[in-house]
């Protein structure tokens, strides 16, 4: 079943993306209505991503007409102001620095460990690459035919 949006027929994979765009806009507006500013930026990003997807196959004017002229790129400034205002009242908690767990004492705790020396392999050195040293193959070698 294909739906028609503003004189454009949508294919089967395009229909869910239009529905996702509409539902993400509803979720964003609900967060605005209930003043859930801590999730507002994430919802806006979801809205923007779905808007950009729908815009690829419907075009900008038709995508804006889907939601009565609303689109997330115009809403970004409003969202940024609201979240900045909310951050003033509710600052982020300071990050706790993870502390290392205490080491259990043992009989060898007084012995200092020596740092390990890097293991330098004593294997065979790679063969030199003749092409890296400016070697050019003679032009006759390029056109050599296989012998029958």
Q: Please report the DSSP string for 82-115 in residue order.
A: HHHHHHHHSPPPPPPPPPPPPPPP-TTTTSPPPP
Residue 5 phi, psi (nearest 5): -120, 110
Q: How far apart are CA 70 and CA 25, in angstroms?
A: 9
Strand partners, 103: none
Q: Residue 66 has what pLDDT?
A: 87
Residue 34 phi, psi (nearest 5): -95, 10
Q: Are 37 and 86 in contact (CB under 8 A)?
A: yes
Residues of the chain below pLDDT 50: 1-2
Q: Residue 22 has what pLDDT?
A: 93
Can you give the pTM of this predicted structure? 0.55
Angle between helices 72-89 and 40-58 (to 10 degrees): 180
The pair of structure tokens assigned to 130 is 């003749």
């Amino acid at each position: 079943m294909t739906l028609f949006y503003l004189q454009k027929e949508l294919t089967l994979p395009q229909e869910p993306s239009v529905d996702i765009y509409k539902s993400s806009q509803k979720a964003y507006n609900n967060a605005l209505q209930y003043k859930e500013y801590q999730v507002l930026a994430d919802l806006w990003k979801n809205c923007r991503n779905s808007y950009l997807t729908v815009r690829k196959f419907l075009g900008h004017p038709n995508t804006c007409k889907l939601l009565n002229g609303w689109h997330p790129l115009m809403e970004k400034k409003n969202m940024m102001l609201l979240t900045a205002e909310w951050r003033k009242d509710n600052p982020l908690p300071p990050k706790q620095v993870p502390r290392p767990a205490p080491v259990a004492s043992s009989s060898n705790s007084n012995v200092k460990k020596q740092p390990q020396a890097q293991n330098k392999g004593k294997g065979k050195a790679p063969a030199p690459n003749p092409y890296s040293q400016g070697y050019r193959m003679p032009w006759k070698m390029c056109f050599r035919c296989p012998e029958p």
